[in-house]
Chain A
Amino acid sequence: MKYEAVIGLEIHIQLNSATKIFCDCANTPGDDPNTNVCPVCLWLPGALPVLSREVLEKATIACLSLNCEIQSESAFDQKVYYYPDLPKGFQLSQAHKPLAKKGWVEIQDEQGRPKRLRLHHVHMEEDVAKLVHETEGRVPISLVDFNRAGTPLIEVVTEPDFRSPHDAMEFLKAIRNQVRYTGCAECSMESGTMRCDANISIRPEGSDQLNTKVEVKNMNSIHHVGDAIAYEIKRQIDAVNNNEPIILHTRLWDPEKRVTTAMRAKFEGPCIPDPSVPTIVLDDAWLETMKSRLPEMPAQKVKRFVQDYSLTHDEAVLMSSERGLSEFFESVVTHGAPPRMTAGWIATQLLPALKAHQQTLAETRVTPQRFASLIQLLEKDEINSNSAKSVLEKLFEMDGTPEEIVEKFGFRQVSDAADLAKLVDQVLSDNASAVENYKNGNKKSMGFLVGQAMKASRGKANPKLVQKMIKDLLA
C-alpha cells in the first residue's frame, strides 16, 4: 500500500520585546543566570502577572503578518504540569481563547507551484525556565535559570496541511520571513528564538482519515526539521508494514545519529482560565493602529519592485527576501544607481563579500550611498567590473568615497584607444596561435585575447573597447 504523511507544525517564536510578558524584567535570556528575575517571574507567593502592552502589540503585528484574524476577545489559561522548569505548576498560555485564528502563508510546492498552507491559530504564552544539567561530579545536579522564565512567545499552530518535508521547510522559511519583516522577532532556529515541533502521522494515500500522531521535537535548524520528518515518515511506514502499532508519544530528533528516539508519552494536562490576567478586549481602532504599523510585506514589495524598477520576478524576490536587504536596495537606487545593475551587484558581489567579512547590512561600512556611487562609476564605464570588485573590497577596509578610492589606487578604466593601441599590438604579436585560431573561426580565442590584454593593462583597460580594437585589427 502507498502511504502519505499528514504533518502539522507547532512553532514557538520568541518576541523581541524589551521586557518579559508579565513583568518588567529584561527579555534577554542569555544574560548571566538568574539576573533578570523578580517576584513575578520567580512566581513567589502573592505576585500577580501584569500583561505587557508591548508584547500584546508585537504578538498582534506578527499575527497580522501571517494573515490571521485577530480575536476581539482572548484570554490566558493555566496549562498545568509539574516540572522543575515551571515552578508555579502551570504555564500561562492561551488554550481556549487564542489571540488570533486562521491565517495562511504561501509557499512553492516541489513542482514550483504556489501552495497555501493554513494556520489553525496563533496564541501568546510565557516561556518556562531553563534547566542546566550538570552531570559531571559524583552527584548529578540540575540547575534552574529563570532568565528565560516569562519571556514572551507566540505559538503558531498549523492545520495538518503538510504532506512532505519540503512543505514543512518552505513553510518555516516563509513564516520566518514574514515575522522577521515586522521586526517583532528574530526567528532564528539556530539561536532558539524559533523552535519547531512536528506532529506526524501516516495514512493510505488518498484517504482523509487522521491517524494517531507522533510528536517530534529538538530540531534546531530548518534542515533538521526536514530530515526529522523524512525519518519519522519512513519509521512509521516501516512500523505499519511490520504490523506494529503507532502510539501517541513524543520523540526527540538526534542530529548526530540522524534518527528520532522515543522520549515520553505525550502529556496533555488540563487548562483552566487564569483568574488574574484579565480578558484581553481589542477594539477596531486599536487594531487599525496595529495594521498601520505593519510594514510593506514581501509579496507586495516584489510586485512593486517589478513594476517600479523593472526587476525580473526572481530579482525582486531576492531583493525582498529580508526587510533590511530590501531597504538597502531601495536606498541605493534612491541614490541614483540603476536598479537592475544594483540588484545584480548586491546578489553576486555585496552579499558574498558581507559573508566573507562576517558583517550584516546594518553594521557594514558599505553604506547605500557608497555602494550607489560604486555602481554609478561602473555604469558610466569609469571603472570596469574587475576594478569595481577591487573598489568594493576597499570600501570594506577604509573610509572615503569610491571616486577617491579609484583615484588613489588608479582603478580608473583606460578607455582611450591611443593609450591601448600599443598594448593590443603587443598581445596580438605575443599570441600568434590564438590569432590564427580566431581567424580560422574559433570565436573562443577572442575571449582569451581580451583576457591577455586585460592582464597586460593590470585590469584597467575597458574590455569592450579592447574587444572592438582586436576585432577591427583582425578583420
Chain B
Amino acid sequence: MESEIFTYINASARPGTGPMEDTRVAVESGISVENWPTDAQSRALENYVALEDATLITRLRDAGAALKGRTAMGELGLGLDGDTCGDALTKGLSDVALKIDTTGEARMAAAISGCFGFKPTYGLIPRAGLISLIPSMECCGILSNSLEAISTTTRTMGGVDERDPSMDPDGIDQAMAGFDQSGPSQDDPLIVGVIRDWHTAMGLEDKEFKAAVKKINTAAGIEIKTVDIKDFSLARTVHNIIGTVEASSSAGRFDSVRYGHRTGASVKNWNEMYIHSRGESFGPLVKAYLFQGGYFQYRDYNAFLDACRIRARLMASLEKALESVDLIVLPVAAGAVVESEASNTVSGFYDTFSLTLLANLTGNPSVSIPGAVSPGTTNGDAARKALQLIGPRFDDAGLLARASRISDILTGEV
C-alpha cells in the first residue's frame, strides 16, 4: 500500500527528539530534501536529486520529525492530478503532509480527503527550496487530521530565514509570537465575515454554504457579519494572469541542459533542443498554463499591469474587511470541481480553485475545515462541503485556534 501512495520511501526515516518527535511527515516532491528525488512530478526535472534541504525541512529534522517519503503531486504543483498526499493521511501512513499551495492545492487536497489543510501567511515559512511555478503566491501548505499538529508544524517551520529575502521580518516575528500566546478562547465573542454576493458574481450556488453558516451562527458568542470585498469576482482572472506570467518566467530554467529530460530527437541547434525537450517534458495543463503566461508577457503586458493593480486593491480591501471581523468564511469550492485528467485545462483548473485562490493572491492565512466525508462522497462534493477560513496576515496562530472552535461547532461537539 505504501508504494501506491509514496513515490519514494525514506528507508531510514526515524524520529529524533524534539517537539515533533512523534510526527511522521510526508513531503511532496516539490519541496527539496537533500539526496531525495525532487522532480515536482515533472519530466522537466526527471531524476533530479536535491543538493540541499529546504530550510523548512532542516527545521523539521531539528525538531525530531520523521520524514516518511514522497507523495505524488500535480505537475510542478499545478492542480491535483494524481495527488496522493491526502491518502498518506487517511491511510494512516503519516501524521502530517506537506504540499505547496499556490492556488489552493493544499486546502483542496485536505478537503477532498476529509482532513484539515492550512496555507500560512505568505512568507511565514521560508520559501528557500520550494519548487513551484508562482513564486509570489507559493507557500508550504500543511495537511493533517489534527489542527494541533498543523499548529506545531507551522511553529516549527516558520520564522525568518536568511536564505529567503522576501520575508517580512516584523510580521513574521509577530506571527511567531502568536504561537507563544494563549490566543483566543472558546468563549470569546467571535465575528465571522461572509463576503457579500460572493456567489452571484461568479454564478455559483450557495445552498450548502448557507446551511453551514446558519449552524455556526447558532453557537453562543458568534456573530455573522457581511463584508464587502471590492473586485472579489475578478480574483480568478487576476490570479490567472499573474500566475501564468510568473509561471512562464519560472519555467524558463527547465532547459533540459543541466537536469531533467532531454529530447532524444536529432536536432539541428539548441533552440530545437529546447523546443523538443520542453514539448516532451511538460504535461497538457502546464503547457497551456505557460502558453497563456507567454501571451501576457509578450502580447498583452498591460493586462498584467492591470492585474497587479487589482491584486493590490484586493489585498487592501481584504485587510480592511478583516478589521471589522475576526475571520472570513467561504466554501473551499462551489460549482464545478474538475475531477478527471481529461479536463486538464486552464479554465477547468480555475473552476476548481476559484474560491481558494483569493488567499494566495493576498497572502493571507487560510485553513480548510472538512465537511462530512463518507466512502461514497465524490471529490467535488467533499470540496463543496468543506469550508475555508481566512484570517488577518501574520495572525496564523489566532486563525488556527478559531478554526478549532468552528470545526467543533460544525461537527456538533459544542
Q: Is A409 among interface residues, defined by CB-CB distance under 8 A?
A: no
Given contacts A45-B131, A270-B297, A278-B166, contact A39 B253 (CB under 8 A): no
B246 partner residues in chain A, CB cutoff 8 A: 272, 275
Given contacts A272-B297, A275-B246, contact A46 B304 (CB under 8 A): no
Contact B131 A46 (CB under 8 A): yes
Q: Is B249 among interface residues, defined by CB-CB distance under 8 A?
A: yes
Q: Is B336 among interface residues, defined by CB-CB distance under 8 A?
A: no
A267 to chain B, nearest CB (A): 11
Interface centre among A48, A80, A277 (most CB of B within 10 A): A48
Q: Is B54 among interface residues, defined by CB-CB distance under 8 A?
A: yes
Binary CB contact string for chain A from 31 to 69 against chain B (1 if under 8 A, 0 otherwise): 000000001001111111111000000000000000000
A318 to chain B, nearest CB (A): 46
| Segment of B113-121, B157-165, B218-226 in the binding face | B157-165
Interface size on A, residues (CB 8 A): 29
A72 to B48, CA, bound (A): 41
| Segment of A87-95, A383-391, A395-403 in the binding face | A87-95
Beta-carbon nearest neighbor of A77 in chain B: B249
A88 to B258, CA, bound (A): 11
Binary CB contact string for chain B from 18 to 59 against chain A (1 if under 8 A, 0 otherwise): 000000000000001000001010000100101110100000
Q: Is B198 among interface residues, defined by CB-CB distance under 8 A?
A: no
A82 partner residues in chain B, CB cutoff 8 A: 252, 255, 271, 274
A10 to chain B, nearest CB (A): 22
- The secondary structure that dominates the A interface is loop
A89 to chain B, nearest CB (A): 2
Contact A275 B163 (CB under 8 A): no
A45 to B32, CA, bound (A): 9
A90 to B163, CA, bound (A): 20
Contact A272 B252 (CB under 8 A): no
Q: Is A300 among interface residues, defined by CB-CB distance under 8 A?
A: no
- With beta carbons under 8 angstroms apart, the residue of B163, B255, B258 that contacts A50 is B163
A144 partner residues in chain B, CB cutoff 8 A: 257
The size class of the interface chain B forms with chain A is 35 or more
B399 to chain A, nearest CB (A): 24
A1 to B232, CA, bound (A): 61
B135 partner residues in chain A, CB cutoff 8 A: 275-276
- With beta carbons under 8 angstroms apart, the residue of B51, B165, B270 that contacts A48 is B165
Interface centre among A42, A46, A48, A276 (most CB of B within 10 A): A46
Q: Is B130 among interface residues, defined by CB-CB distance under 8 A?
A: yes
Q: Is A142 among interface residues, defined by CB-CB distance under 8 A?
A: yes
Beta-carbon nearest neighbor of A146 in chain B: B258
Contact B249 A277 (CB under 8 A): no
Contact A90 B252 (CB under 8 A): yes
Q: Is B393 among interface residues, defined by CB-CB distance under 8 A?
A: no
A88 to chain B, nearest CB (A): 4
Contact B304 A48 (CB under 8 A): no
A43 to B131, CA, bound (A): 12
Given contacts A46-B128, A80-B297, contact A87 B255 (CB under 8 A): yes
A272 to B136, CA, bound (A): 12
B304 partner residues in chain A, CB cutoff 8 A: 272
A78 partner residues in chain B, CB cutoff 8 A: 249
Contact A46 B252 (CB under 8 A): no
A275 partner residues in chain B, CB cutoff 8 A: 135-136, 166, 246
Given contacts A39-B52, A270-B301, contact A84 B166 (CB under 8 A): no
B267 to chain A, nearest CB (A): 13
Q: Which of B110-140 contact A (CB under 8 A)?
A: 127-131, 135-136
Interface centre among B38, B40, B52, B249 (most CB of A within 10 A): B249
Beta-carbon nearest neighbor of A275 in chain B: B136
A42 partner residues in chain B, CB cutoff 8 A: 258
Contact B274 A46 (CB under 8 A): no
Contact B253 A272 (CB under 8 A): no
A50 to B50, CA, bound (A): 20
User: Can you spell out 5 A-B residue pairs with CB atoms less than 8 angstroms apart?
Assistant: A46-B128, A48-B163, A49-B165, A88-B253, A89-B255
Q: Which residues of B contact A (CB under 8 A)?
A: 32, 38, 40, 45, 48, 50-52, 54, 127-131, 135-136, 162-166, 245-246, 248-249, 251-253, 255, 257-259, 270-271, 274, 297-298, 301, 304, 308
Q: Which residues of A contact B (CB under 8 A)?
A: 39, 42-51, 78, 80, 82, 84, 87-90, 142, 144, 269-270, 272-273, 275-278
The 10 closest A-B pairs by CB, nearest first: A89-B252, A275-B136, A88-B253, A270-B297, A275-B135, A46-B129, A45-B131, A46-B32, A50-B165, A78-B249
